[in-house]
Amino acid sequence: MTTNGSRQTLLVTGTTSGIGRVTALDAAAAGYAVVATGRDEERMKDLEREAARRGVELDIRFLEITDHKAVENLVSEVARGYGHIDAVVSNAGGIFALGTAEQITMDGYRFVMETNFFGNLAVIKAALPHLRAGKGRLIVVTSANGVMGAPYNEAYAASKFALEGAVESLAPVVARFGVRTTIVEPGPVVTGVMAPRRLAKLLPNEQVANSPYPEPWDLLTRVIANTGGVQPVEEIGPLFLDLLASDNPPLRFQTAPWAVDFVAPKIAADIDGGRVAAASEAYLALAD
């Protein structure tokens, strides 16, 4: 857990609830120097209390990932303060605009893209020089919906597909500089992702005359409740710790059997992205 005699520095975004929260707390308990970002002051205080309760140390900082200048500044400050950034878990997201193309406004699509795609891209861009310098690790949280589209959740799927495409393209390039990249694709996990605060932030949809469509939040809630594969969030932290510690982490990682089954129609032949990684390396080698 050390780099040049000091603890490895891990930056995790979106740690005020869900996957980011357990990852930050478990990584701190495992000995990483964790910089945990959040944007809600109350939930940041709650995270601080939970860290204290567990007797672990977290460096909790404010970060709104759609503020790209703030992302650059935060990453620079962390690198300056700790001397190195060894790993990044780009996790903040879970932003929706639900419905079909007929219902979702263009602003709705942009709202989702701003966080789930551009915000995460800003984090990755800012972190890369530091990860290259230390042959570090990049973990980007997309979704099973980053591989398979999901009815009535197309803006979310589009944003996660975009992030998958960017990271899948980046991974072989930075691998040549020693940076190991994993795209994490959860299925349904019990987190704040469907909390009422998300519903409250949904932008109004287009009014479709004589709409044949069901109410999409209600539909998504029922689909998730009936999957039978909803994963407890506590399972997630140890999975991230394994990925961070692995000498040879996969390009893709689904967090639960349900997620594996969901993406299988498209990527069963390459569930962990090993063949993609080899094909990308062969593509790069064409220029050598």
Contact positions toward ligand NAP, by CB under 6 A?
A: 14-20, 38-40, 43, 63-66, 91-95, 115, 119, 141, 143, 186, 188-189, 191-193
**CB of 5 vs ligand NAP, minimal distance in Å:** 32
Longest dimension (CA), the chain: 66
**CB of 259 vs ligand NAP, minimal distance in Å:** 8
**CB of 278 vs ligand NAP, minimal distance in Å:** 26
Residue number with CB closer to ligand NAP (62 or 283) = 62
**CB of 155 vs ligand NAP, minimal distance in Å:** 12
Residue number with CB closer to ligand NAP (220 or 277) = 220
Instruction: Please tell me the distance from the alpha carbon of residue 237 to that of residue 227, in angstroms, as a whole number.
Output: 22
Residue number with CB closer to ligand NAP (46 or 206) = 46
Residue number with CB closer to ligand NAP (102 or 107) = 107
Burial label, 209 (beta-carbon count in 10 A; 0-12, 13-18, 19+)? exposed
**CB of 80 vs ligand NAP, minimal distance in Å:** 21
E strands, 212-279, are: 252-254
Residue number with CB closer to ligand NAP (99 or 119) = 119
Instruction: Please tell me the distance from the alpha carbon of residue 16 to that of residue 39, in angstroms, as a whole number.
Output: 8
Instruction: Please tell me the distance from the alpha carbon of residue 172 to that of residue 183, in angstroms, as a whole number.
Output: 13
Instruction: Please tell me the distance from the alpha carbon of residue 199 to that of residue 228, in angstroms, as a whole number.
Output: 23
Distance of CA 51 to the CA centre of its chain: 21
Nearest 5°: the CA angle 219, 225, 229 is 125
Residue number with CB closer to ligand NAP (19 or 179) = 19
* Closest C-alpha among 77, 92, 91 to residue 138: 91
**Angle 154-175/120-133 helices, nearest 10 degrees?**
10
**CB of 35 vs ligand NAP, minimal distance in Å:** 14
Q: Which amino acid is at 245?
A: A
Q: Which of 32, 82, 152, 156 is catalytic?
A: 156
Instruction: Please tell me the distance from the alpha carbon of residue 247 to that of residue 17, in angstroms, as a whole number.
Output: 28
* Closest C-alpha among 186, 198, 207 to residue 257: 186
156 an active-site residue?
A: yes
Of all residues in the shown chain, the one whose CB is closest to ligand NAP is 18
**Where in the sequence numbering do the catalytic residues fall?**
156
